[in-house]
């Protein structure tokens, strides 16, 4: 995936501006990315059992993106539902 990102073959977004490592990779499970391992993991038995326990039997997968920090930069933001600070 890293090579595809750096070659501009997949849809990415960097909140740090141009010429920086991407921080969001969109369409992670889209077939055209040619990376089935992400979708295979999300529908694996252990993940399915875990989600069924919380959400019930009827599941629907929405957007799937991967958030990452490039250039070994520490993650400096909390998730939108977090109540703690970025260092918690």
Are residues 19 and 6 in contact, defined by beta-carbon separation less than 8 angstroms? no
Residue 39: the pLDDT is 84
Give percent above pLDDT 90 in the chain. Answer: 8
Are residues 23 and 30 in contact, defined by beta-carbon separation less than 8 angstroms? no
Give percent above pLDDT 70 in the chain. Answer: 66
Question: Is 88's pLDDT higher than 60?
Answer: no
- Sheet strand arrangement including 12-13: 12-13, 24-25, 66-67
In which band, very low, low, confident or very high, does the pLDDT at 44 lie, cut at 50, 70 and 90? very high
Are residues 29 and 40 in contact, defined by beta-carbon separation less than 8 angstroms? no
Mean pLDDT (whole number) for 31-45: 85
Show Cβ contacts of residue 72 under 8 Å, excluding neighbours closer than 6 positions.
none
Q: Is the pTM of this model over 0.75?
A: no
């Amino acid at each position: 995936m890293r090579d595809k990102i750096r070659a501009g073959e997949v849809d990415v977004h960097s909140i740090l501006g141009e010429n920086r490592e991407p921080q969001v990779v969109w369409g992670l499970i889209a077939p055209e990315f040619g990376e089935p391992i992400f979708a295979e993991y999300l529908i694996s038995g252990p993940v399915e059992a875990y989600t069924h326990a919380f959400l019930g039997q009827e599941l629907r997968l929405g957007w799937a993106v991967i958030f990452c920090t490039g250039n070994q930069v520490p993650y400096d933001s909390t998730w939108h539902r977090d109540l703690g600070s970025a260092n918690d």
